[in-house]
A and B are shown apart, each in its own frame.
Chain A
């Protein structure tokens, strides 16, 4: 119990103060924002590294195709990450809730033992 109080308890208590749906939705939304930022950074890096090849013989059609590929890749990545993040945070909430439940059960048991000892 003391080990749990020192290591996992603060985060678990914070997580279990949310409803599961709220916690999962909030963190999935944050993940979506981060993924968007990450994708923009990665796409920027790829564009910078291949700028010569991309600008060579660039036409409107090629540009539209490149943009649609980029948007499609972004949407796929976003959906995959949101689904994974949703599952990840749901299981994280479940585990935290179970640990907190067990902790409180043990705490009440300890309280009863102290009461008995006092009597």
Chain B
């Protein structure tokens, strides 16, 4: 466990150091997943579904805010739908507009959850989303998670019935418009999954914010179980065809993800929990204090032992040089060491400069303080007095 904690600390340090690059790389990978998923499933427009387009879009979106990726993904979906059939594109556009109007206007920063949800659904692990965002986010995340579920089922439906939806004459267009609108809104499986995701996320959030011990673990388990139960009830009551095996697997993986997230973001030591009670004039306070597990990553410091340097410091200049020269002749490994020798004095110089800088700062500070306190006059008086004596 302590090794894992040390790794976590080291990971945090690495992230803090290279966060800019790490975020860009992650954004690029997310872009590859999103655009790749769209192009592989509904790539009806040949030009837009090429690998070049996927990589290019991902690369561009990696350097822009995440909301741009959401817009790019929406435009790409619309292009593919347009290539398939005009009415489908219109209905999808209306659905996307409704999503934007009712939610994304207010918090566009959370729009990327809409991208992650279809990815999780396509990987057959949808319950990871409510567990992860119930633990890390808030109840507001139910909106993007639900919209992401709807988007996934629209894409899934179009993929499954693309041949039937292909555009024909004017009457065929109107029929397909009505059929697609009806299918999009009355898909029982979609609404069951929306309900499972929403309820599970709210339960995970509600449990996670309690002060009970192991709240994150209980929340993850409860969220995963509730999602599976809702899926199973939907299967029985509404006659939808959700696979029990994949639901259970998704629930188990969601719990595992919950454990990983707890380790990364909420590692506390429940065995050292303290309960305190105190009061002031207006309130009684009942406090439960759970200490965080903090392990400082060991810092590796390489110490160069330099025979020549030591000899110089000892004051035996000539002898030291001779000794170093003889050591140089002995082997290649030893011959490298004197090369590192001059580094030490350089470092010392630097330290000296730093000291000088600090001393200058101290002097400036002292002067400004003496001026402010009026001590400079006092000092002058004292020196004059000493001269007189």
Instruction: Verify that A and B bind, or say they do not.
Output: yes
A38 touches B185 (CB 8 A): no
A117: CB under 8 A from chain B? Answer: yes
* Residue in B95, B102, B105, B364 whose beta carbon sits within 8 Å of that of A45 in the complex: B95
Given contacts A44-B94, A45-B91, A45-B95, contact A37 B101 (CB under 8 A): yes
Residues of A within 8 A of B178 (CB): 48-49, 51
A34 to B106, CA, bound (A): 12
Which residues from 40 to 69 on chain A have a C-beta closer than 8 Å to any C-beta of chain B?
A: 41-42, 44-46, 48-51
B25 CB to nearest chain A CB (Å): 20
A116: CB under 8 A from chain B? Answer: yes
A31: CB under 8 A from chain B? Answer: yes
Residues of A within 8 A of B98 (CB): 38, 41-42, 45
User: Which residue of B has the minimal Cβ distance to A117?
Assistant: B364
Residues of A within 8 A of B364 (CB): 117
Residues of B within 8 A of A49 (CB): 178, 181-182, 184-186
Residues of A within 8 A of B106 (CB): 85, 88
A45 touches B368 (CB 8 A): no
A92 CB to nearest chain B CB (Å): 9
A78: CB under 8 A from chain B? Answer: no
A90 CB to nearest chain B CB (Å): 13
B97: CB under 8 A from chain A? Answer: yes
* Residue in A34, A45, A51 whose beta carbon sits within 8 Å of that of B185 in the complex: A45
A37 to B94, CA, bound (A): 11
A45 to B97, CA, bound (A): 12
A48 to B95, CA, bound (A): 13
Residues of A within 8 A of B182 (CB): 48-50
B150: CB under 8 A from chain A? Answer: no
Which residues from 147 to 186 on chain B have a C-beta closer than 8 Å to any C-beta of chain A?
A: 177-178, 181-182, 184-186
A119 to B181, CA, bound (A): 73
A116 to B368, CA, bound (A): 8
A46 touches B185 (CB 8 A): yes
Residues of B within 8 A of A35 (CB): 101-102
Which residues from 7 to 61 on chain A have a C-beta closer than 8 Å to any C-beta of chain B?
A: 31, 34-35, 37-38, 41-42, 44-46, 48-51
A8 CB to nearest chain B CB (Å): 11
A34 CB to nearest chain B CB (Å): 5
Q: What are 6 sample pairs from A and B whose C-beta atoms fall under 8 A apart?
A: A41-B98, A45-B181, A45-B185, A46-B185, A48-B177, A117-B364
A residues whose Cβ falls under 8 Å from a Cβ of B: 31, 34-35, 37-38, 41-42, 44-46, 48-51, 85, 88, 116-117, 119
| 4 smallest beta-carbon distances between A and B, as pairs | A38-B101, A49-B181, A49-B182, A48-B181
